A and B are shown apart, each in its own frame.
Chain A
Amino acid sequence: MRRLLQINLFLSSLLVLLAVSCSPVSGHRFVKFANITENEVRPVINKNNSLLFKAKIDLYSRHFSGLIILKQIEPAVSRLTFVTEIGMKMFDYEITDNTFKLVYVFEPLNKPKILKLLENDLKLILLQHLMNKPAAIYENKAEIIYKVKNDFRYYYQATRPSSVIGNIIKKGPVFTKVKVNYNYADSVHITRVRLKHKGFIRLTMELNTLDKSSQQ
């Protein structure tokens, strides 16, 4: 019995150690709690320009590709529209502050589980869990990490001295659920966003910026 308790204690310690050492904030010192605004982090939605992405979404065996256009149409209202290359609209969201309202969805995609996944992932990409939310700020010499805890734990990493987010990790109680990676052309303008689910959900998204100057 005593031996069993020892093994149990050892395994629990190992798990705690693993969880701590795998934490994205390990090696960073806690600085403060603060409400994250545009002063700290540059938002993905640009107030002055619309963004046009070539998008690829792989959900289990299904592949969707097309164009995502993201535009602020009023001070607090933006639209995110996905159209296929041949011009068919697949879905259209109206984003007001941090709420997503589905305006249109192409019937074959109109399934609650798919829409929930899409909405959660798009919210993640657009930093909806971070902007204007309280976060614990950690830092080291190279980077700053903003940790937000609500339904999951979200870690947003920005490389110093930039105010743009380079990576996001969404974690459950133990394991990483989703990873997002951003690439920038000039430390400000996004060129690529990659999102990948870990574990059982097989969903990846890849958004590559298209040059809007050729569209006028």
Chain B
Amino acid sequence: MLKRVLFFLFLLNALVGMAQSAFKPMKDTLGFKQKVDRMSKETNSIESDFIQVKNLSVLSEKITSKGAFCFLKQNNLRWEYSEPYKYVIVINKEKILIKDENSRVKKYDMNSNKVFKEINDIMISCVNGDILKSGKFSIRYFENDKGYKLELLPLAKSMKESLKKINMYFDKNVTSVVKLEMMENGDDTTTIDFMNKKINAPVAPDKFILK
């Protein structure tokens, strides 16, 4: 009897947990968009750690990498991978700088490379919330008791060829993006979790210079 009661309680707990975390269509999308607008205006800098997991479905393999992320308004991004390899990619306005392990810094002009420009636009607009206004995606809005989830479906044919969907997760206060999921055609995914965030802490501009 006791076993049955325990099993029932376990089941109930699991169901309550599922109900709490299940995303439902968002009721107040206008209110959410206003929060994102405010976030975009008020966020001058973000520093955080991140964990990136690349899931290669056919191979049943996950590649996990870790590092530090930094954003400074208007158009400065720094992704610094520290495990299991060292790799830094910096977007400094119109330049992309890459520092690989034991290599010299490589510089690329964003405007000379359409692909880089596209990737940069998505990355920056994901971070500052401008992606909602980009017109490049059709967006579905969801919420649960912990936060919000946006499903972004690419509209351009060229993007559809490699990207099926981007899921963006926000906390309930919409202070920043907490998680990004990029789903490719063929069911490979890239998930980036942001943690230990510092919003609007002073960030030295030389973080976006690589030598």
A residues apposed to B, CB below 8 Å: 50, 52, 54, 56, 63, 65, 67, 69, 71, 73, 79, 81, 83, 85-89, 104, 106-108, 210-211, 214-215
CB–CB A104/B186 < 8 A? yes
Judged by a CB distance under 8 angstroms, whether B162 is at the interface is yes
Binds A, one of B17-25, B30-38, B98-106, B170-178: B98-106
Bound state CA distance, A206 and B181, in angstroms? 30
The answer to whether residues A54 and B101 also contact, given A81-B59, A89-B188, A215-B63 and a CB cut-off of 8 A, is yes
The residue on A at minimum CB distance from B184 is A89
Binds A, one of B80-88, B147-155, B201-209: B80-88
Partner of A85, one of B58, B81, B161: B81
Judged by a CB distance under 8 angstroms, whether B179 is at the interface is no
Bound state CA distance, A65 and B161, in angstroms? 22
List the A side residues contacting B190 at CB < 8 Å: 86-88
Bound state CA distance, A108 and B89, in angstroms? 20
B residues apposed to A, CB below 8 Å: 52, 54, 56, 58-59, 61-65, 79, 81, 83-85, 87, 89, 98, 100-101, 103, 106, 115, 119, 158, 161-162, 182, 184, 186, 188, 190, 192
CB–CB B100/A79 < 8 A? no
CB–CB A215/B59 < 8 A? no
CB–CB A79/B58 < 8 A? yes
CB–CB B89/A210 < 8 A? no
CB–CB A215/B62 < 8 A? yes
List the B side residues contacting A79 at CB < 8 Å: 58-59
B146 to chain A, nearest CB (A): 25
CB–CB B54/A50 < 8 A? no
Task: Add 14 more A-B contacts to A86-B119, A210-B85 (CB < 8 A).
Answer: A50-B61, A63-B98, A69-B63, A79-B58, A81-B59, A83-B56, A85-B65, A85-B85, A87-B52, A87-B182, A87-B192, A104-B186, A106-B162, A211-B84
B22 to chain A, nearest CB (A): 27
Interface SS of B by simple majority = strand
B153 to chain A, nearest CB (A): 18
Partner of A83, one of B63, B79, B106: B63
Bound state CA distance, A76 and B156, in angstroms? 38
CB–CB B54/A87 < 8 A? yes
List the B side residues contacting A52 at CB < 8 Å: 63
CB–CB B63/A107 < 8 A? no
CB–CB A214/B84 < 8 A? yes
The answer to whether residues A69 and B56 also contact, given A87-B182, A89-B184, A107-B158 and a CB cut-off of 8 A, is yes
Partner of B106, one of A63, A81, A88: A63
The residue on A at minimum CB distance from B58 is A79
List the A side residues contacting B87 at CB < 8 Å: 65, 85
Bound state CA distance, A166 and B184, in angstroms? 37
Interface hub of B54, B65, B158, B186 (most chain A Cβ within 10 A): B54
A89 to chain B, nearest CB (A): 6
CB–CB A69/B83 < 8 A? no
List the B side residues contacting A211 at CB < 8 Å: 84
